[in-house]
């Protein structure tokens, strides 16, 4: 993909809220979601964010906004899940996004037809953007991997394969839910300090993980593999992702086969999927230290070095029960950036398929916890509290080592740079239920 007229920072929309400074969803973004009006029995359908509004694609299909050649693409995006639209590929995604950009621009002749198709986001209820057949979670922040390794394996924090392959594991797709997820505290086996036998109980080390999620578009045939040069054409877009983790359960079970019950009880994603095309202005060079070995050929490409990374700011907030009752704003725990990732999006796809594994439209890949090089850029409480040895002080005087009942975790993400409009991801929020609920 490359820059085109949809990225022009001077573009404004006749939807006035889209032109506000700091808006996540200007006309340069146009992310996709699946929604219906809250407290209704309407069918879920596809929509596109513009400012504080949603373009109802089902309603828009009843207008003359889309020419005949675009109606098929719009019809796919208007369905109760985006799988078929994701499968249609970059040509379809880009063509529909361009048509919507032109129709929503200030002075467009389509304004009168599209205005009745707008639904306020505050009135919407969201569903998962796609039927997620498979979910793979990677581990591509070397800063997170090193920090966690020091806690779990102080003698060998970073295992020798980390710099050679994008580490990942297959997660549980059935427990992925949309923003607003509420989860009870999970139970599992825990080996307490000094004990010789585990016990079954509720986790006392519940944590979040600040991640991005990648939705797969066109898949590949079983037995084939995706070349790194074509890998990004298989990625529809990105969302925010919180891979909730029970660290005490994880510490007991993760060897020799990795996470299981510590991870599969809940994963929360944001409703809006931001297309790769809208993120083009925020590409940056992908680099690794000169002292590290270079990657194998199937994971290397000139484009990766030139523009394989994305400059996406990521933030995590916590809202405690006490903050909620007092009407206080959530406390920001950390801020980091996806550009610090050790592996690129294209490398994840190339590696995932190099053995012939078939990806399918709607599959979800998690990036793993995104932490930066500084301690305050950590993407989990495990890191921020140094394994519970240094409690994190919140703005209202409370402290946290891990999440407590009633805590809500809010993830936010956005791209900003001079000469471009801000592109945002909205929020991915989830709350730990209190024992009384």
Partner residues linked to 101 by β-bridges? none
Strands (E) across 276-407 are located at 283-284, 309-310, 313-319, 331-337, 364-366, 392-393, 399-400
Tokens of 87: 């499968």
Nearest alpha carbon to residue 220 among 342, 121, 89: 89
Q: What is the Cα–Cα distance from 430 to 105, expressed in whole angstroms?
A: 34
- Output phi, psi for 295, to 5 deg: -75, 160
Q: Residues 7, 144, 331, 352: which is the catalytic one?
A: 144
**How many whole angstroms separate alpha carbon 262 and alpha carbon 175?**
13
Structure tokens at 36: 């219906």
Torsion sign over Cα 67, 70, 75, 77: negative
352 is catalytic: no
175, 245 contact by CB (below 8 A): no
Measured in whole angstroms, the distance separating CA 187 from the mean position of its chain's CA atoms is: 26
Rg (CA), the chain: 22
Strand 423-432 to 181-183 pairing: parallel
Picking from 308, 333, 314, the residue whose alpha carbon sits closest to that of residue 415 is: 314
User: Is the Cα dihedral 419, 421, 422, 424 positive or negative?
Assistant: negative
CB 3 within 8 A of CB 280: yes
Q: Parallel, antiparallel, or unpaired for β 168-170 and 135-138?
A: antiparallel
| Residues taking part in catalysis | 144
């Amino acid at each position: 993909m490359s820059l085109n007229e949809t990225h022009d920072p001077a573009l404004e929309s006749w939807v006035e809220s889209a032109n506000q400074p700091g808006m996540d969803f200007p006309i340069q973004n146009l992310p996709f979601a699946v929604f219906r009006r809250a407290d209704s029995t309407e069918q879920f359908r596809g929509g596109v964010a513009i400012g504080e509004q949603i373009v109802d694609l089902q309603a828009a299909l009843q207008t003359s906004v889309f020419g005949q050649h675009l109606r098929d693409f719009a019809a796919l995006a208007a369905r109760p899940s985006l799988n078929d639209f994701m499968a249609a590929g970059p040509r379809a995604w880009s063509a529909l996004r361009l048509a919507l950009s032109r129709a929503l621009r200030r002075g467009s002749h389509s304004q009168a037809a599209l205005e009745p198709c707008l639904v306020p986001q505050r009135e919407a209820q969201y569903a998962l953007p796609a039927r997620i057949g498979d979910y793979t979670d990677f581990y591509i922040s070397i800063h997170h991997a090193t920090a966690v390794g020091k806690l779990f394996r102080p003698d060998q924090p970073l295992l020798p394969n980390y710099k050679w392959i994008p580490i990942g594991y297959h997660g549980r797709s059935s427990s992925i839910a949309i923003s607003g997820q509420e989860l009870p505290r999970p139970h599992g086996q825990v080996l307490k300090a000094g004990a010789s036998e585990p016990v079954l109980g509720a986790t006392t080390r519940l944590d979040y993980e600040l991640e991005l999620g990648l939705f797969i578009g066109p898949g590949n045939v079983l037995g084939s593999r995706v070349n790194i040069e074509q890998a990004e054409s298989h990625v529809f877009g990105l969302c925010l992702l919180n891979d909730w983790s029970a660290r005490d359960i994880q510490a007991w079970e993760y060897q020799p086969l990795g996470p299981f019950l510590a991870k599969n009880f809940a994963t929360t994603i944001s409703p809006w999927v931001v297309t790769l095309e809208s993120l083009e202005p925020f590409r940056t060079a992908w680099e690794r230290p000169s002292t590290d070995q270079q990657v194998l050929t199937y994971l290397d490409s000139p484009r990766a070095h030139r523009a394989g990374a994305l400059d996406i700011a990521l933030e995590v907030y916590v809202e405690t029960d006490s903050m909620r009752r007092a009407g206080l704003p959530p406390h920001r725990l950390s801020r980091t950036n996806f550009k610090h990732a050790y592996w690129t999006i294209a490398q994840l796809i190339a590696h995932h398929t190099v053995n012939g594994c078939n990806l399918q439209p709607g599959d979800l890949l998690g990036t793993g916890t995104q932490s930066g090089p500084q301690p305050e850029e950590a993407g989990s409480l495990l890191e921020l509290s140094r394994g519970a040895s240094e409690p994190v002080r919140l703005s209202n005087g409370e402290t946290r080592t891990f999440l407590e009942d009633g805590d809500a975790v809010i993830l936010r993400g956005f791209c900003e740079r001079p000469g471009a409009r801000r592109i945002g991801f909205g929020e991915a929020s989830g709350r730990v239920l209190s024992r009384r609920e």
